[in-house]
Amino acid sequence: MVHTLERLELAAPLGKRLVVLGDPISHSLSPAMHNAALAEMARQWPEFADWRYEAVHVPAVDLPRALPLLYKAGVAGINLTIPHKVQALGIIEEVDALSSRMGAVNTLVRTATGYRGTNTDGYGILKAIDESFQRTPAGADVWIFGAGGASRGIIVACLEAGADRVTVLNRSVARLEELEAVLVGGRVPGLEKVRFHSLQEAPVDAGEAAIFINATALGLKITDPSPVDAVYLKPGSVVYDTTYGCSNRLAEDCQEAGIAYSDGIPMLVWQGVRSLEIWSGKSVPAGAMRRAVDTELKRRKEDG
């Protein structure tokens, strides 16, 4: 069930409500994976038995209205997805240092007076790359396609992990300039290692064993073109795609080129693990989350 602000009938008691906001949001796997983790946690800690995580459809124009309403409704934790990760910075009461550097938040925590924002995307991408490829950005040549809210966390995480160089490519030059200004304003350490280029003038000097990350929405539909030109797909490199849910053109190109590829499920799970750790203050069963995601994707495929 997807809620709206006009019809907000959350199942959990006040203070035990968790939600994800986005537009669109009906495709989200987050409720399935978080509720599976909460059910397993409740076996060890009974206080989580009546916690629930639910989806709320919130268009961008409604976010300033949504957050105070959800606070009044006793929502303890909020995840933000497209298109809210950047806009929320100007609405919430407090932002931690990490999110300030990134210029985006994806996790909100209820405080005595409002919401405090943090970002678990960086944690998620590092865990996902390690899980998928047994690799780390340390010393690597990292290429990021996209300049939206997700790319901000990924850039900072890769720099903090010790990437040798980070190249950011995006179709819109204005978005690139906005992203660069945010990172400069956040005084991100290592920013001198980052290059910003439009796709129209993209360099092709990727190093051996480069890490390519798709942080665009291209790939959510099977008909989407690949955001990563085939010229980059060379032996030894790896491709991490933050989209998930279908076999897309990028996955097919990687298979044809013999390049290691992973979709966005590991990042989805690990950023979710970290969010639930923050809200609950307990260790979170990542395995339960992953199994729930796999089960839900299989169900959707069978349903057509």
Catalytic residue among 16, 72, 85, 298: 85
Helix axes 173-185, 149-160, angle to 10 degrees: 50
Round to whole Å and give the CA distance between 283 and 66: 29
Tokens of 35: 């509720």
Specify the pairing of strand 2-4 against strand 94-95: unpaired
How many degrees, rounded to 5, is the angle at CA 259 between CA 267 and CA 123? 20
Note if 127 is an active site residue: no
Tokens of 20: 């994800």
Whether residue 259 contacts residue 283, with contact meaning beta carbons closer than 8 Å, is answered with: no
The closest alpha carbon to 152, from 110, 94, 206, 89, belongs to 89
Centre a 10 Å sphere on the Cβ of residue 293 and count the other Cβ atoms it contains.
Answer: 21
Q: CA 95, 97, 103, 106: dihedral to nearest 10 degrees?
A: -60
Round to whole Å and give the CA distance between 185 and 165: 20
Residues marked as catalytic:
85
